[in-house]
Amino acid sequence: MPVRLILVSMPWALADRPSIQLGSLKAYVTRAFGSAVHAEAAHPYLDVERVLDRSLYRRLAERSWLGEAVYAALLYPERTAACAGLFSKYWPRSEGSPAFEEICRKIKDFHDNMPLWRDLEKAHLVGFSVCFAQLASSLFLARALKERFPGVRTVFGGSLVSGVLGKSLMEAFPWIDFIISGEGEKPLVNLVSRLFSLHGGSETDSMQGSRDSFQTVQRQEGRGVPKPEDEKRPTGPGALGTLRREGVRPWGPGIFFRREDNSVDGGGWSQITNLDGAPLPDYGDFFREAQNGGDARTPIFTIPVESSRGCWWHTAREDRPHKRACRFCNLNVQWRGYRSKAPHRVAQELAALADEHKSLHFVFVDNALNPAAVAETTQAIQRSGKDFHLFGEVRLPLSRHEVRALRLAGFREIQAGIEALSDGLLRRMGKGTRVIHNVAWMRHCEEYGIENRSNLILEFPGSTPQDVHETLDVLRAVRVYRPLKGVRFWLGEGSPMALDPESYGLKGIGNHPHYAVLFPEEIFRRTRFMVKAFRGDRLRQRRLWQPVRDFLRGWHREDAVFRNRTGGEKPRLGYLDGGTFLLIRRRDRHGRVETTYRLSGPSREIYLSCLDAKPLDVLQKEHGRFSSEGLRRFLDDMVAKGLLFRHREWILSLAVEEGVKKFLA
C-alpha cells in the first residue's frame, strides 16, 4: 500500500489560481518516490469561495486580518465577539459590514461535511502550506483532523512558519507534529522517507537536471519504491507509534520535530541548489477540483510560475542585519541566497503549462526577476509565439529597453520595489536605488502599457519633514502616470529592522496586538507571530505623512476618471515625433488635449536623448555645441513646464511616445 500524503492549501489563498507550493511539492515528492507515495494536492479554498460567493471571498482574501479573524473564531468559538470586532475594524466602513457570524457558520458547516474528509481519513501524513493569511485556517483544519483521526501526522510549512516562527508555533499548538522551515522540497522528501522508511530522500540531490534536460527531468514514475525488506515494515499511521517508542530519529535539516519530553528541536534549512532540476509544478488536482465543483464560470485560471528563489539584492544574515538588504523586508527568511532558472527553461515551463491548462495568464511568484537574464528570458518567452499576460516583480533600475522587452514578452502588470520617492529614505531603507530610477520606471511603464502596481511606503520610522517634502515634489511631477499604492509601514519578523530595532528608533518589539484578539492570552504571550508591534515615532509619522495620503487619494480619483474617459489608450503626457520636430501633448483629466508644445531641431534631440535618465554632465558632453548656460536655461524651462524631470543632476524626459514606433527594434 502506498504512503498517502495529502498537501492542503487553506483559505485565504487567492481562488483564481492553484497553489504553486502544493504543485511543486507534489511533483517533487512524486518524482522522488514514484508509486510508493500517493501524493495529492487539496485546495479547500475553492469550495469556501463557492460557499461564500466570489466577491466576498476575494475581499476577505485581500486583507489578512479579515480572513484570520474568521478562522480564529472557528478555532476558538469563545473569541467570536472579539474576532467580529476586529473584522468590522478592517471592513471598509462605506460598504456595511457583512454578518460575521453568518460567514463563520457557513464555513464551519462546509468544513464539518466536506468531501475531503474521505481522503483525509486514509492519509498517513497531511501537509499544510501556510502563507499569507493561512495561519488560523490551517490551525483550524489541523486540529479538526487530529480530533477525528489522531494517528494522522501533520506537517506545516511556508513563509508564515519559517525559522523561529515555526519553532514557536509548534510549541504552542500540539496538533502540529512537524514544521518544515524554509524551502519545502528536500525536507519533505526527507521526512516522508524517514517517517515511512522509504528509500528516495537521499537521492534528491542527484536528481538535479542540467539546463538542457527539461524534458527528461519531468515526472519520472517508479523511483524510490520501497526496498524488499522495507515492504515488510509497517507503514502508515500504525507505524508511527513505533517510531515514537523507538525514540527520535534524525529528521534532517529544515525540520522542527518534537522530542519525547515534548520539547521542540531541529530547524535549519535544506534547499535545492539547481532550480532547473526541479520538476514542473503539478496542478492537475487543482484543475480537477475546480471542474468537479460544478462552477459555471469559464475555467480559465491564473497559473503561478517561478523563475527564481530568494532575492539577489538581499545578502543580510541574522548576525549581519545591515548587510545589503531592504531593511523592512522579511521575504527572505525562507531562502538562503539567490537561485534562478535558465531563460530557456522559464520559457519552456510557461509554454508547457499554457498548453496543459489552456491558459495564458501567469503570475511569477519570484521576489525579484533575475535582472541579468531579462534580455534572454524575454526573448525566449517571445519565441514561444504565445500571447501571454504576465505579472511579475522586479527590482530597479531597469532601462527603457528592458521595460520594452518585458512588455513584448507579455508582461502587462509589474510590481517594482519603488517604496519611496526621497533619496534619503531610499538610502535608509537600504533599497540601493534612487528617485530617478523610480520615476524612470513609472515613465517606461506608461509608455509601454504596463500596469505599474508598485507601492509607496508611508510612515517609515524616522522619516523627516524633508523626506516628505521631497516625496510630495516628486509626486507632483509624476502625476501624469498611473498612481502608486500607499501602504503603511509594518514590521515583519526576521526583517533587518526587526533584528536591529534600536538602529531605527524602534522599541518594545512584540507581537501585533491583533494576535491577542485572535489567540488566547497564553498563546499570545509565548508565541512569536509574523507581524510585530513596536513603539517609536508613530504618531508623529502619521501626521507627517497625511499630506501624502491626501495626495494619493486625489491622484487615484483623477486617474480613474482619465482612464475611464480614454479607455486607457492615451497618455496624459505624450509626444509624437515628426522627424525634425516633436509635438508634446498634455491632456486634462477628461482626456482632452489642453496644451501642445513643439520642440524643433536641437531641442527635439535633447529631449529624445533623455528618454532614459541621464546625468547632466553626460548630457552636456553629448550636446557640446550648446553652452552649459544655454543648456541649463532650456532644461529649467522644460522642468518648469512639467515636461522634464530633474533630480540631483539627473535628467529624464517625462512625455511618453504615443506612436507604435516604440515597439520596433
Residues that bind ligand SF4 (CB under 6 A): 311, 313-314, 325-326, 329, 331, 367-368, 395, 417
Q: Whole-number minimum distance, CB 79 to ligand SF4, in Å?
A: 34
Nearer to ligand SF4 by Cβ, of 395 and 587: the residue is 395
Closer residue to ligand SF4, CB minimum distance, 163 or 224: 163
Among the listed residues 553, 593, 556, the one whose alpha carbon sits nearest the alpha carbon of residue 575: 593
User: Nearest distance from residue 313's CB to ligand SF4, in Å?
Assistant: 4
Nearest distance, CB of residue 364 and ligand SF4, angstroms = 13
> Least distance from C-beta 377 to ligand SF4, angstroms?
18
The Cα 406–Cα 429 span in angstroms is 27
Which residue lies nearer to ligand SF4 by CB, 284 or 432?
432
Task: Provide the minimum distance between the beta carbon of 366 and ligand SF4 in the complex, in angstroms, as a whole number.
Answer: 9
**Cell output for 404:** 520594452
Looking at the Cβ atoms of 418 and 643, the one nearer to ligand SF4 is 418
C-alpha dihedral (526, 531, 534, 537), degrees to nearest 10: -170
Shortest Cβ 104–ligand SF4 spacing (Å): 35
Nearer to ligand SF4, 7 or 329 (CB): 329
Type of residue found at 390: L
CA distance linking residue 138 with residue 170, whole number of Å: 13
d(CA 220, CA 206): 14
Q: How many CB atoms lie within 10 A of CB 200?
A: 23
Closest CA relative to residue 12, chosen from 53, 54, 52, 62: 62
CB of 602 to ligand SF4, least distance (A): 39
Q: Using the minimum distance from each CB to ligand SF4, give the nearer residue, 42 or 416.
A: 416
SS (H, E, C) 510-547: EECCHHHHHCCHHHHHHCCCCEEEEECCHHHHHHHCHH
3-state SS assignment for residue 469 = helix
- CB of 204 or CB of 334, closer to ligand SF4: 334
Distance from C-alpha of 466 to C-alpha of 117, rounded to nearest angstrom: 58
Query: Distances in Å between the alpha carbon of 13 and those of 88, 292, 308, 514?
Result: 21, 19, 21, 20
Tally the C-alpha atoms within 13 A of residue 10's C-alpha that lie toward its C-beta: 28
Tell the smallest beta-carbon distance from residue 159 to ligand SF4 (Å): 12
Q: How far is the C-alpha of 61 from the C-alpha of 57, rounded, in Å?
A: 6
Q: Which is nearer to ligand SF4, 368 or 475 (CB)?
A: 368
Residue nearer to ligand SF4 on the CB measure, 353 or 368: 368
* Contact present, 159 and 333 (Cβ < 8 Å): yes
Question: Pick from 16, 55, 76, 49: which is nearest to 524 by CA?
Answer: 76
Q: Taking the complex as a whole, how short is the minimal distance between the CB of residue 368 and ligand SF4, in angstroms?
A: 5
CB of 316 to ligand SF4, least distance (A): 8
In the complex, the smallest distance separating the C-beta of residue 133 from ligand SF4, rounded to whole angstroms, is 19
Q: Which is nearer to ligand SF4, 350 or 394 (CB)?
A: 394
Q: Which is nearer to ligand SF4, 359 or 422 (CB)?
A: 422
C-beta of 343 vs 417, nearer to ligand SF4: 417
How many CB atoms within 10 Å of residue 117?
A: 14
d(CA 468, CA 95): 31
**Minimum CB distance to ligand SF4 smaller for 239 or for 331:** 331
| Residue appearing with cell numbers 517517517 | 195
Q: 238 — alpha (psi -120 to 50), left (phi > 0) or beta? A: alpha
19 DSSP β-pair partners: none
Task: For helices 100-113 and 44-52, give the axis angle rounded to 10 degrees.
Answer: 140
Q: Residue 403 Cβ, how far from ligand SF4 at the closest point, in Å? A: 17
For ligand SF4, the closer of residues 433 and 653 by Cβ is 433
Min separation Cβ 373 and ligand SF4, Å: 16
Q: ω into residue 12 within 30 of 0, thus cis? A: yes
CB of 438 to ligand SF4, least distance (A): 13
Peptide bond into 397 cis (omega under 30): yes
Rounded alpha-carbon distances, angstroms, from residue 484 to 412, 556, 587: 16, 8, 20
Q: Is the dihedral of CA 354, 308, 365, 157 positive or negative?
A: positive
Q: How far is CA 4 from CA 10, 37, 153, 197, 432, in A?
A: 19, 6, 11, 14, 47
b vs e for 295-310, b when ≥16 Cβ sit within 10 Å of the residue's Cβ? eeeeeebebbbbbbbb
Distance CA 61, CA 411 (A): 24
Amino acid residing at 432: G
Shortest gap between Cβ of 402 and ligand SF4 (angstroms)?
16
Instruction: Report whether 572 contacts 585 (CB < 8 A).
Output: no
